[in-house]
């Protein structure tokens, strides 16, 4: 296959001057739009608030978490809100660390951006201003669909994934953005993934952080079923995308492995988990869901589980609650959705508890304390103790028999045995040169 040269760019961009926002502290009944739908739910860990977004009025809503346990109707929720200006047309994801909320989206010019603000300061007199809310254009990336953040010392590093048009060969490719020191800098790196089947992933689904590493979760042969291979790559947090480890692909060449997007969650230390709907090679029923845990040292599965849903599902999310040591898998359960509680270290078969609402489909969740999580759909919020036998809500209970299954082992590929692009260049010598893979991006929007 013909080799193409792809360039990683360090963009030094000024902070956008459009940081003109309206904020207030109000009750929900006076601000929630009649036809608005809530997107996302994110815990702001060091604050009393969880955060959602309503696209119809371009507004973030910060809800006091205490009301989830008090059983108050949403119309009486104490709310803080921050309304974006009309030039912001998309917010595709939110992620909060401490009291800082980071978000990614697109403006009316089609330019992607990464923004942030301090939830605790919303509602203060003269807040916000250009120094309080940062919006940095990411001009080389056509869309950003997922954002993750980790903190080192007093600095926040943002990772985001999306799509980028490559003018060198007129292809739309997957892109990964690394934005170090996001609160105090406007410099970032980005990398495009190219095309060389069957060795490189076509779709980038998720990013997960361990104590020392950044793991990028990918899918290969997305457009060439039924292969469905899983792929991952990891880089150190300190080196990031500048690491040559980016070229080592941990490749899981098992046919019929995935049949949905892949969700990932950190388990603490160097452990993480992934969950996805799997193919079945024997019969249309059942439709298995697989959950696998990994350690970054070997990148081989430590534990692997499977349960059957008896329907083709859409995967919505995965979180780990460290207080109860439970993984919560959120996925479709026609006609709505279900939360399934998985023990990530189980060594024998067991039955996993699940909760679902017959009337509402939940599409977002986040851990909120040692024993609880929150979820949102339309205008409905919810908190549930995930370890208690009693159900303190209107949700119904079900059970899934969970089986231990075979472990999945990677075939590692690197610059030593796979044709790669030439080493990419950077616009600034203070960044190390990075080499890149040559695999085709999937042109479909990542779910």
For 348-369, what is each residue's pLDDT tens digit?
A: 999 999 988 888 888 898 887 7
Q: Look up tokens 């969970």; give the residue.
A: 402
**Res 388 pLDDT > 60:** no
Q: Are 115 and 136 in contact (CB under 8 A)?
A: yes
Task: Provide the terminal-to-terminal Cα distance of the chain, rounded to the nearest Å.
Answer: 29
Report the distance separating Cα 97 and Cα 95, nearest Å.
Answer: 7
pLDDT at 202: 75
17-26, 122-131, 173-182, 305-314: least confident range: 17-26
Residue 440 — pLDDT band, cuts 50, 70, 90?
A: very low
**Which pLDDT band, with edges at 50, 70 and 90, does 441 fall under?**
very low
Residues 403/404/408/409 CA torsion (nearest 10 deg): 180
Ramachandran category for residue 269: left, alpha or beta (phi over 0 → left; psi -120 to 50 → alpha): left
Measured distance CA(386)–CA(395) in Å, rounded: 12
C-alpha span between 319 and 267 (Å, rounded): 9
User: In whole angstroms, what is the distance from residue 54 CA to residue 192 CA?
Assistant: 31
Quote the pLDDT of residue 442.
26
Write down the pTM of the prediction: 0.85
| Chain segment 213-232, per-residue pLDDT in tens | 999 999 887 666 667 789 89
Name 408's Cβ contacts closer than 8 Å, sequence gap at least 6.
230, 252, 254, 257, 292, 300, 301, 304
Structure tokens at 173: 């490719």
DSSP label at residue 327? E
Give the span between the Cα atoms of 370 and 408, in whole angstroms.
Answer: 30
pLDDT band at residue 266 under the 50/70/90 scheme: very high
């Amino acid at each position: 296959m013909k080799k193409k040269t792809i360039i990683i760019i360090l963009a030094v961009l000024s902070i956008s001057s459009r940081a003109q926002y309206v904020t207030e502290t109000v009750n929900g009944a006076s601000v929630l739009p009649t036809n608005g739908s809530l997107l996302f739910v994110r815990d702001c860990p060091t604050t009393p608030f969880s955060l959602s977004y309503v696209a119809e009025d371009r507004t973030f809503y910060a809800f006091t978490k205490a009301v989830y346990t008090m059983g108050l109707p949403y119309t009486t929720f104490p709310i803080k809100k921050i309304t974006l200006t009309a030039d912001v047309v998309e917010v595709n994801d939110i992620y909060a660390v401490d009291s800082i909320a980071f978000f990614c989206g697109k403006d009316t010019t089609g330019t992607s951006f990464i923004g942030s603000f301090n939830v605790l300061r919303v509602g203060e007199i003269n807040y916000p201003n250009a120094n309080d809310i940062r919006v940095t254009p990411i001009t080389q990336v056509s869309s950003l669909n997922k954002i993750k953040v980790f903190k080192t010392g007093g600095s926040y590093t943002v990772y985001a994934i999306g799509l980028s048009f490559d003018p060198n060969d007129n292809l739309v490719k997957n892109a990964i953005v690394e934005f170090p020191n996001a609160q105090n800098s406007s410099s970032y790196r980005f990398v495009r993934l190219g095309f060389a089947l069957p060795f490189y992933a076509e779709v980038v689904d998720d990013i997960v952080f361990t104590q020392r590493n950044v793991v990028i979760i990918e899918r290969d042969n997305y457009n060439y079923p039924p292969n469905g291979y899983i792929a991952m790559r990891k880089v150190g947090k300190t080196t990031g995308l500048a690491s040559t480890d980016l070229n080592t692909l941990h490749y899981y060449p098992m046919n019929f492995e995935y049949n949905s997007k892949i969700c990932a969650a950190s388990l603490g230390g160097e452990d993480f988990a992934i969950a996805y709907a799997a193919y079945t090679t024997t019969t249309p029923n059942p439709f298995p869901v697989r959950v696998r845990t990994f350690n970054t040292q070997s990148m081989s599965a430590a534990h692997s589980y499977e349960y059957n849903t008896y329907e083709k599902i859409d995967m919505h999310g995965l979180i780990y609650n460290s207080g109860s040591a439970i993984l919560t898998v959120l996925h479709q359960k026609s006609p709505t959705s279900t939360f399934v509680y998985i023990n990530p270290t189980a060594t024998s078969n067991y039955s996993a508890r699940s909760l679902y609402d017959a009337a509402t489909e939940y599409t977002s969740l986040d851990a909120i304390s040692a024993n609880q999580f929150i979820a949102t759909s339309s205008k409905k919020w919810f908190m549930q103790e995930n370890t208690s036998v009693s159900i303190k809500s209107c949700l119904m209970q079900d059970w899934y028999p969970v089986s231990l299954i075979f472990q999945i082992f990677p075939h590692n590929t690197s610059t030593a045995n796979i044709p790669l692009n030439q080493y990419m260049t950077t616009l600034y010598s203070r960044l190390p040169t990075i080499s890149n893979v040559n695999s085709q991006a999937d042109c479909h929007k990542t779910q």
